[in-house]
Amino acid sequence: MLNPGMMLSDRYEIIETVGSGGMSEVYKAKCHVLNRFVAIKVLKPEFSSDVNFVTKFRIEAQSAAGLSHPNIVNVYDVGEDNGIYYIVMELVEGITLKEYIQKHGRIESNQAIDFAIQIAQGLEVAHENHTIHRDIKPQNIIVSKNGSLKVTDFGIARAASSNTMTSNAMGSVHYISPEQARGGYSDERSDIYSLGITMYEMVTGHVPFEGENNVAIALMHIQGEMVSPREYYPDIPTSLEKVILKCTQKKPERRYLTANALIADLKRVKENPNIDCIVVPPVVTNSPTVKMTQEEMQAIKQGRQLNTPAAEQPKVTPLDSRAESRINMPVMKPSAIDDLFPEDEDDEYEYDDEEIETTPASRQMSDDDDELDPKLKKIIMISSVALVVIVAILIIFLIGKIAGWNLFGSGGDDKKPKTEVSTDSSENTSDEEMIPMVNVVGLYKTAAEEQMKKNGFTNYVFVERNDNTVEEGYVIEQSIEEGKSIAADEKITITISSGKEMTIVPDVRNYTDAQAVTLLNEAGLEVTHGYEYDDTVEKDYVISQEPAANSEVARGTTVKIIVSNGKESVPATVPKLVGLSEEDAAAALTEAKLVGNPSYDYDDEVPEGQVISQDIEANSQVEEGSTISYVISKGKESHTYSATFSGSITNIDYDFDTFGNVKVEISYTVDGKSYSIYSGAAGVDSFPLDISGAQAITGLTTNSGSFSIVISDSDGIDVTSSFNTGGISATFAQE
């Protein structure tokens, strides 16, 4: 596990852990190159040490980096740092679809269709770029905070399938396609099958196949019959059910061939739920079949044996050659799926005696066309035949019992009076309706409800109760104990935890310790103490509390109160501050555990920044934390001045009638800078020219300057001498 603050490739800073899976751990990180937050998926050491896997992982991840779509979590970068292999991805704030289903239960049909369309749109782009996901499941789909869905983990599944699929990817066995379960070739239609299972879970709240182990579930995907969604919830539109069942056909060629075709049908169903436009293509008899390896078949057979108690395994009796030849012909129970698509008749096969008695060579060719291994088919066939025989015997026995036949007695028994067999229909019906109660304690509410429906119970109610030990939403107890046989409509009360009982934390600040404890205990809360000195809160009174006052917490929560020890009196020696710099004075006071209060003033003798004086003499004893005031020199005091202007310029002998108007430029230079006092044309009526209204100059460091006056005629000739300029002056004032 990576620690917060760690850098990968001198670029990505780890912020926090956001999740962990079977192959990797996911972290929130910050990219310091592009200044953005990202998600980084880091391979676990057991995968990082496998060179072949790492090679495939890098190739596939780099391929996935080329995918860009709003419904795909974008891959930004792939890298390695000191043996740590990682993928940098888009950071999406939200929860997985699996968590969403667990939190909300089954999803309403319209929303499920919308979710499915978004997932299929992401797959459509991936498939167009020749990328197969191979591990579509709700855990790999993120529901963002704005409600949009994003598919993640592209590329990793392919690398895993080539190296670790047999042992590790079975964690996704609830969503695996039949061809993947057999270890065969998988393509785009495998993703569509897994999406179909995901859609099934969205509309029902659970997966279609459950078993004691992964092998048992994989076998169900290969040959098991799926309970149609509408058997659980009749409110699911028939058209949507058909879409789901078409996606989850056993044979790939009977599914949607492209995600685009699936999207089109989903949109039709969304617009008109009563539409009937779903068509399943016929079986392609020469479709490629990839056989399972002997090791995989052995694992499946062992799994079946482990899942089937010895008492339940059918006894296999010797069969004649004709029966043995039938063993190699897989006989499957007609699926309810076919009832939804009556126009498809290509799956109907009829065998007569001549067809069954084939040569070994022809039987081998037939075996090659079947999807299951011959040994596995043989086991299935024997089990089926044995089961039929057992059922037939039971039926004959029951009929004979009712009819009074003496099937097993001797001749002498015929003389005994026959015992009447009651055929009271009400008694038989009552026996048939009795159902053993299942255990739902510990299940989440939606899962418990599904279990009750699945077992045929019709009259159950949920009640809520606070519980400090059971998480909210889970079953605490049931009114009927497990195993007890009851009628299907007998009332069953299932108690759900509503979480811990909540209470409001009272505000106990500024109460005495004893008062605070009483108030908190009355609110159902526990109390723990802490003690601190405080200059403002009286001794034995509460300073603060955690959790905060008026917050809502579960009963039994412990509240920590901090009680005042009063003001702590500790002596401190005042340091000498005079002559120290401002920084040194502050440091000296901090070291003495005193508080400084500096002020500033001009001083002609003490350099700027040094302490001039302090209010408490050095080496005096004061209480720790006391405030010491001191004055810091601002250096010599400097003054600034402002200049104002007055007076006027008069005409001496300039002939305006002959030479026209003049241009007057008056400026004043002070502190090395020239300021314009007056600039403009002037005629005979402008004189005398008064400058008393000129703008004052402020912020001057000196109190003297000089005028510059230039008067020129229309030809630019200087005629200043024709005017009297000595009548103007500048007056300075200290600011």
- Cβ count within 10 A of residue 44: 15
pLDDT of residue 318: 35
Nearest residue to 300 via CA among 197, 407, 376, 199: 376
The token duo for 48 is 């990082």
- Domains 94-271 and 571-633 agree in fold: no
Q: What is the CATH number of domain 641-734?
A: 2.60.310
Distance CA 450, CA 469 (A): 24
Task: Spell out the alpha helix ranges (H) of 562-720.
Answer: 582-591, 656-659
Amino acid at 238: T
| Centroid of chain to Cα 10 | 26
- Our answer to whether residue 276 is catalytic in this structure is no
H/E element holding 712? strand 706-712
Topology (CATH) of 7-90: Phosphorylase Kinase; domain 1 (3.30.200)
Name 59's bridge partners: none
Nearest residue to 191 via CA among 288, 126, 236: 126
Residues counted in the chain: 735
CB-CB contact of 536 with 505 (8 Å): no
- Where in the chain are the domains? 7-90, 94-271, 308-391, 435-497, 502-564, 571-633, 641-734
pLDDT of residue 570: 82
pLDDT 10s digits, 571-595 = 899 999 999 999 999 999 999 999 9
The token duo for 545 is 């509390």
H/E element holding 600? strand 595-601
Q: Are strands 558-564 and 526-532 parallel, antiparallel or unpaired?
A: parallel
CB-CB contact of 111 with 143 (8 Å): no
Distances (CA, A) of 379 to 97, 213, 295, 305, 696: 38, 19, 17, 11, 113
Give mean pLDDT, residues 526-554. Answer: 91
pLDDT of residue 269: 94
H/E element holding 48? helix 45-48
Nearest residue to 469 via CA among 492, 497, 494, 443: 497
Give mean pLDDT, residues 226-251. Answer: 94
pLDDT 10s digits, 421-430 = 333 433 444 4
**Model pTM above 0.95:** no
pLDDT of residue 283: 53
Give mean pLDDT, residues 323-346. Answer: 35
| Structure-model confidence comparison of residues 29 and 380, the more confident one | 29
CATH 3.30.10.20 holds for 502-564: yes
State the CATH class of domain 435-497.
alpha beta
CB-CB contact of 627 with 593 (8 Å): no
Q: What angle do CA 721, 727, 729 make, to 5 degrees?
A: 120
H/E element holding 560? strand 558-564
pLDDT of residue 377: 56
* Options 77, 135, 265, 713, the catalytic residue: 135
Nearest residue to 207 via CA among 102, 336, 339: 102
pLDDT 10s digits, 206-230 = 999 988 888 889 999 999 999 999 9
| Centroid of chain to Cα 152 | 11
Please report where in the chains the tokens 């596939």 appear, as a residue.
60
Name 631's bridge partners: 599, 613
| Centroid of chain to Cα 154 | 17
Amino acid at 553: V
- Cβ count within 10 A of residue 531: 14
Topology (CATH) of 94-271: Transferase(Phosphotransferase); domain 1 (1.10.510)
Please report where in the chains the tokens 């009286």 appear, as a residue.
538
pLDDT of residue 379: 58
- The fraction of the chain above a pLDDT of 70, given in percent, is 78
CB-CB contact of 649 with 725 (8 Å): yes
Please report where in the chains the tokens 């479709």 appear, as a residue.
287
In the structure, what pLDDT confidence band is assigned to residue 504 with cuts at 50, 70 and 90?
Answer: very high
pLDDT of residue 604: 85
pLDDT of residue 397: 72
Q: Tell me the backbone φ, ψ of residue 15, rounded to 5 degrees.
A: -100, -55
pLDDT of residue 556: 86
pLDDT of residue 383: 65
Q: What angle do CA 320, 326, 327 make, to 5 degrees?
A: 90
pLDDT reading at 64 higher than 80: no
3 state SS of 102: helix
Average pLDDT, the chain: 80
| Structure-model confidence comparison of residues 712 and 322, the more confident one | 712
CATH 3.30.10.20 holds for 571-633: yes
The token duo for 433 is 């309706």
Taking each helix axis from N to C terminus, what angle separates 109-128 and 238-247, rounded to the nearest 10 degrees? 30
